[in-house]
Structure 1
Amino acid sequence: MVRERGSDSALSRNRLRDDLRDRILGGEFRAGDLLPSERSLVETSGLSRGSVREAIRSLEVEGLIETNRGRFGGSRVIEPRRDRLVHLVDIFVRAKGVSLASMLDCRAAIEPMMARLAARNMTPAALARLEELNQAFHDNVGALQDYRRINYEWHLEVARIGGNEPLMALLEPILNLARDSTEYERVTTPPNRLRAIAAHDEVMAALRTGDEAGAALAMEAHLISYARLTRDSEG
């Protein structure tokens, strides 16, 4: 007997979704593999076709699979993409109206480790790119919009060199929002720009010599100081 859509409990649908997710994350289904067909999942789970489709859609939303319809269609496992997590964090931060100071606090919890990893993983080519950005940072101290862009690119490049994907996924949306914050221009006064340049120079000095602890401490001091300046400007 064909079961009607809606006759299955949410618990049963969620159990199928969770089982498929666990099998994907556990390596039973790898990127490029097709999941069992809808018909097969209906038969093995005892759920209606509609409930099976809801479970499949949930996995699509999570970015674990993509589904194509038609004769040669099906649900195929895909590599998780960082931009999906970036998008979710971006929505959360925007919806909460998180302040620039709070975003800097978040960065102070993440970027020191990224700076430490960057010092560990540094290559001549990566260092040359950072040197170029740091010089541009100096050269554009009087041009706020260029200064803002270069500051963002420098911090992002340090994180990329660090090479930790989960931390990058957390950091990137916060960097994006800090860059675009309406508070940025108020806080980034000429004296504060000079302070930031000096702080970047301290981080660079540690990165040049592969000083992991020094890079982490310099980055932490920079971000904590800027968060404090941001809060002071609010008063």
Structure 2
Amino acid sequence: MPEVPGTAAVSRHPVQLQPMQVPKASDVLANDLRERILRGDFPTGTALPPERELVTQTRMSRTTVREALRILEVQGLVTIKTGRSGGAFVQQPGGAAVATSVSLLIRGQQLRLTALLETREAIEPACASLAAKYRTDEDLAILDRVNAAMADESASLAEFLQANIDWHLAVAAASHNELLTGLMSALSAAIYSSTENTAFVDDTVRKITIRAHKSITEAIRSSDPQAAVRRMTKHVHGYAEAVVKVEERTEIELGAE
């Protein structure tokens, strides 16, 4: 039988297809609503259509609609209220959403303390610089109040550490940059939970910290970004070095046992 022209090169082996990842219907709906919220189609405070109406409009099941709304709630894009006047209400993500996301990353990846300290050294001087530019009288009042709490000699270790966190967050807040504030919120909580021990925070460390905080606060009060950056860089770098030394000493002591 004569060969049909052009067929000699055709493979007789069946074509192998890779498994296709089909997105869940709830993810598709959540993505669509998310884009509309971020685009501004639904301003903050707007009530999304009720579940029954969303089911009718999208032709999806009530379970799918509820799951999509739950995804948006976890992402901080809607708040769900129950009751007669309840429903899903739009809210724009803020610093809290950033802090939550970063905290999950830190815990989920079990990031090393040194990585947290390096990140802090990279961004906190920027917070101080912006704070010196944009701080308000209210920002300064908060910094002064926290400095006074740290200087209270009767404060316990837990109270001192909390005041320390509050001061660093106050500097970030004074930058009026929500992204930096969110990052600092997550970083501070992770770092200080790892250093809550008397082996590191003794009376000398308290005095050095209080003095550094007051110096940085004065640079912010004087609207001096260069001094704020210089003093904050020295402060966080010195803190990082001290923490690493304590960590190394602890590992050696544990190994000796």
Pick which of 175-184 and 48-57 moved more: 175-184
Residue equivalent to 1:130: 143
What is the SS of the residue equivalent to 1:52? helix
Deviations 1:122-170, CA, capped at 9 Å, x for gaps: 3445334434443554453996444323322222222222222221112
Q: Which residue of 2 aligns with 1:234?
A: 247
Higher relative contact order (CA 8 A, sep 6+): 1
Match for residue 114 of structure 1 among 105, 122, 127: 127
Partner of 2:28: 15
* Aligned 1:49-198 pairs, distance under 5 A: 49-68=62-81, 73-80=86-93, 82-138=95-151, 140=153, 144-182=157-195, 184-198=197-211
Note if 1:34 corresponds to 2:47.
yes
2:198 is paired with a residue of what secondary structure? helix
Q: Is the 8 A contact 2:26 2:68 kept in 1?
A: yes
**Amino acid corresponding to residue 126 of structure 1 in structure 2:** D
TM-score normalised over the length of structure 2: 0.72
Number of aligned positions between the proteins:
227
Q: TM-score, normalised by structure 1?
A: 0.78
Give the Cα–Cα distance (whole angstroms) in 1 for the partners of residues 73 and 159 of structure 2: 39
Identity %: 36
Deviation at 1:114, TM superposition (A): 1.5
1:101 and 1:13 mapped to 2: Cα distance? 39
CA gap 1:22/1:190 in 2 versus in 1, 3 angstroms: same
Deviations 1:175-201 (A, max 9, x none): 223333345432224444444344324
CA distance in 2, matches of 1:145, 1:74: 40
Instruction: Specify the SS of the correspondent of 2:199.
Output: helix
Larger radius of gyration: 2
Asked if 2 retains the 8 angstrom alpha-carbon contact of 1:141 and 1:193, the reply is no
Q: 1:52 to 1:62 in 2, by over 3 A?
A: same
Matching residue's letter, 2:192: R
User: Could you tell me how far apart the structure 1 residues matched to 2:43 and 2:107 are?
Assistant: 34
The one-letter amino acid paired with 1:156 is L
What is the SS of the residue equivalent to 2:239?
helix
Q: In structure 1, what is the equivalent of residue 215 of structure 2?
A: 202
Higher helix share: 1
CA contact 2:27–2:68 (8 Å) conserved in 1: yes
1:6 is matched with: none
Query: Which blocks of at least 5 consecutive residues in structure 2 are unaligned?
Result: 1-21, 249-257
Give per-residue Cα distances to partners, 1:18-55, cap 9 Å, x unaligned: 11111111111112222234344334434333322322
1:16–1:55 contact (8 Å) kept in structure 2: yes
Contact 1:140/1:147 (8 A) holds in 2? no
